[in-house]
Structure 1
Amino acid sequence: MEKKKICLIAQFPPPMHGLSKAVQTLYNSNLSADFCFEKVDITNNKLFLKNLIQIWKSKADLFYFTISQTKGGNIRDLIILKLLSLQEKKCVIHLHGGYYRKLVDNDLVGWQKKMNYKAIKKLAGVIVLGPSLKYIYQGMIDDKKIFVVPNCIDDEFLISDEEFEKKIVALNHKEVLHVLYLSNFIRSKGYPEVLRMAKLEKERVSKGAKKELHFDFAGKFFEESEEEFFENYVKEHELQDFVTYHGIVSGQKKKDLLRDSYIFTLPTRYPNEGQPISILEAMGNGMVIVTTNHAGITDIVREGTNGIVVTEAMENQKEILPMIYNLKSKFHEIIETNRRVCLLNYSEDRYIKNLEKVFKKYL
């Protein structure tokens, strides 16, 4: 029997980020044995016309489309969706974020908002990252057509069971625990708050306490001003012994950071946030999570069970550090819970199976 064809309209790496990584995982998965995958890489807007022609000519049985959460990107998406609608093609869109509904209802002018509601209503289905994000499409499309497919941690960045056991045993002898911030350096992602936590740890040590935490940062600076802010803050507060910046990490260097860190912090209020893969990577590699109750994070991290969830903007880091110290007696339990939950619900295999269920519903 001839394999059904699925056309993936999405951003493929490079650059590598949460969305492109998830798409690449799907494209390279063993589903290619059951379906014939075709890809249209929409990363470069200069190729828009070429991409439209490819989409128009495609004989795919189903189109899988990862949509944008910006005004300009939305216009591009509406054109693509209109093209598919004219051809009466089946299309499922996958939202890797949590801002789309706010974009449509609050940021777009009347005609563009109306076109979004019309386009969504005609779709075969929509996919969100967690139950708490289903509201984004409610009132736009039948609830039965809203599917939940959580993100996943790539097998490449998951430590082995043997390494995990060693990590658990080593925790008993660790005097200084490494706290990891692994994300892009955008203010609303919360890296300045993590720097302030490092400053408070230094102040505590300067009063005679033992150093208990070291702060590791890794990720990309998109603005020179952000890099200057980071470097100046470290110099001004003399945090060189408490803060290490590792640059943009991948491969073995990223694996080492995930293996050696025991606490992961992402105090994000980033408007476009969906369900950060970095949190899932941290859980799978045996870390206690310190984050915010923002976007789809509430579906994967619960206060006390997975770590610490901050329920308001983190202006007062003085409260966060004592919470971390007080939680230390539960670190073993939390780390083991996070590893187990991640392997069960957020593995690469589980992610692919969840998408397969959606695809088979329409093919």
Structure 2
Amino acid sequence: MKKKKICFIAQFPPPMHGLSKAVETLYNSNLSKQFDFEKVDITNNKRFLRNLIKIWKSKADLFYFTISQTRGGNIRDLIILKLLSLQNKKCLIHLHGGYYRKLVDFELQGWQKKMNYKAINNLAGVIVLGPALKSIFQGMINEDKIFVVPNCVDDVFLMSDTEFEEKVSAIFQKEVLHVLYLSNFIRSKGYPEVLEMAKREKERVATGSKKRLHFNFAGKFFEDSERQFFESYIKENELQEFITYHGIVDGQRKKDLLKQSDIFILLTRYPNEGQPISILEAMGNGMVIVTTNHAGIPDIVEDGVNGIVLSLDNKIYINTLLNNIVSIFRDNNATRMIINNRKCVEKKYKQDCYITNMHEILKLILREN
């Protein structure tokens, strides 16, 4: 029997980020043995016309399309969706974020908004990252065509059971706990607040207390101004002994950083946020999570169960947050949270779970006429 062909219209790495990593994981999975995969890499917009030609000529049975959440990107997406519609091609879109509906309803001109509603209504299906994000497409497409597929932790970045057990047993013997910020350096992701936490920790130590926390940062700077702000803050406040910047990490360097860290922090208000893979990686690698109730995060992190979840409706008080983090470890709640996180990832967010979920949706849509 001839294999069904699926064409990926998506962003592939480089650069490496949550969306491109998820696409790469699916494309390189064992599903490529059951389906005939081909790809149109839309990362570089300079290749737009060439990509349109490839899409037009493709004989795929299904087009898997990761859509944008920007005005310009949306125009590109509408052109692609129109091209597929003219050929009566079946298309499944995957939204790796939480901003699309706000973009369409509040930022686009009337004609562009109408085109989005029409294009979405004609799709074979849409995928979101969590139940909290299903509302993005409600009213645009039938409810039974809205699917949920959470992100996953790639097997390569999941510590072994032995490593996890050793980490749990040793955590209360550590004099200094390691805090990790692993994300792009965008202010709405919350990295300035983590810098302030390091400053407050230094001030506390200056009064004669022992150092409790060391702050590790890793990720990409997209703007020189962000790098200058970050470096200047550290220099002006003399935080070199409290902060380590690891650059852009992947492979073994990333595995080592996940293994050594005890607390993961992402105080995000980023408008395009979906379901951060970095949080899932931290959960699977023995960390307490400190984050916000933003976008799809409430689907994966619960206050008091996984760690600390702050409401975006309230101001973040850094001293209070620091005290709450330390008290979790002092009161022995950290072990419970760390074990909860590990079990949660093993049950719902491992790589094979992601591939299985995607496989079921692909089979369902390809069966439909």
TM-score (norm 2): 0.97
Structure 2 Cα separation of the partners of residues 281 and 26 of structure 1: 17
Cα distance per residue 1:61-84 (max 9 Å; x no partner): 111000000000000000000011
The alpha carbon displacement at 1:315 in A equals 3.8
Candidates 335, 359, 364, aligned match of 1:361:
364
SS of structure 2 residue aligned to 1:309 = strand
Aligned to 1:268: 268
Candidates 336, 343, 346, aligned match of 2:346:
343
Give structure 2 stretches of 5+ with no counterpart.
Answer: none
The runs of at least 4 consecutive aligned structure 1 residues that moved more than 2 Å come to 312-315
Aligned to 1:155: 155
8 Å Cα contact 1:90/1:124 also seen in 2: yes
1:166-205, aligned counterparts within 5 Å?
A: 166-205=166-205
Q: Does 2:92 match 1:95?
A: no
Structure 2 Cα separation of the partners of residues 199 and 76 of structure 1: 44
Q: Does 2:84 match 1:84?
A: yes
Identity %: 72
Letter in 2 for 1:68: S
8 Å Cα contact 1:267/1:314 also seen in 2: no
Aligned to 2:123: 123
Aligned to 2:282: 282
8 Å Cα contact 1:275/1:296 also seen in 2: yes
8 Å Cα contact 1:92/1:123 also seen in 2: yes
Structure 2 Cα separation of the partners of residues 47 and 213 of structure 1: 47
Aligned to 2:57: 57
Structure 2 Cα separation of the partners of residues 4 and 343 of structure 1: 31
Structure 1 Cα separation of the partners of residues 181 and 18 of structure 2: 15
SS of structure 2 residue aligned to 1:295 = coil
Give structure 1 stretches of 5+ with no counterpart.
Answer: none
Q: Does 2:318 match 1:317?
A: yes
Structure 1 Cα separation of the partners of residues 277 and 253 of structure 2: 17
Aligned to 1:15: 15
Structure 2 Cα separation of the partners of residues 55 and 345 of structure 1: 34
Structure 2 Cα separation of the partners of residues 314 and 54 of structure 1: 49
Structure 1 Cα separation of the partners of residues 176 and 241 of structure 2: 12
Aligned to 1:26: 26
Q: Does 2:327 match 1:326?
A: yes
Seen in structure 2, the aligned counterparts of structure 1 residues 314 and 163 have a Cα distance that, compared at 3 Å, is farther
Aligned to 1:306: 306
Letter in 2 for 1:24: E
8 Å Cα contact 1:13/1:21 also seen in 2: yes
Structure 2 Cα separation of the partners of residues 67 and 20 of structure 1: 12
The alpha carbon displacement at 1:234 in A equals 0.8
The alpha carbon displacement at 1:172 in A equals 2.5
8 Å Cα contact 1:67/1:93 also seen in 2: yes
SS of structure 2 residue aligned to 1:241 = coil
Letter in 1 for 2:335: H
Cα distance per residue 1:262-285 (max 9 Å; x no partner): 000000000000000000000011
Aligned to 2:259: 259
SS of structure 2 residue aligned to 1:273 = coil
The alpha carbon displacement at 1:314 in A equals 5.0
8 Å Cα contact 1:214/1:242 also seen in 2: yes
Cα distance per residue 1:296-332 (max 9 Å; x no partner): 0010000000000010365421110111122111111
Letter in 2 for 1:186: I
Structure 2 Cα separation of the partners of residues 167 and 53 of structure 1: 52
Say how many residue pairs are matched: 363
Aligned to 1:107: 107
Cα distance per residue 1:7-54 (max 9 Å; x no partner): 110000111111000000000000011111010100111111111111
Q: Which stretch of the first structure deviates more once superposed, 122-131 or 53-62?
A: 53-62
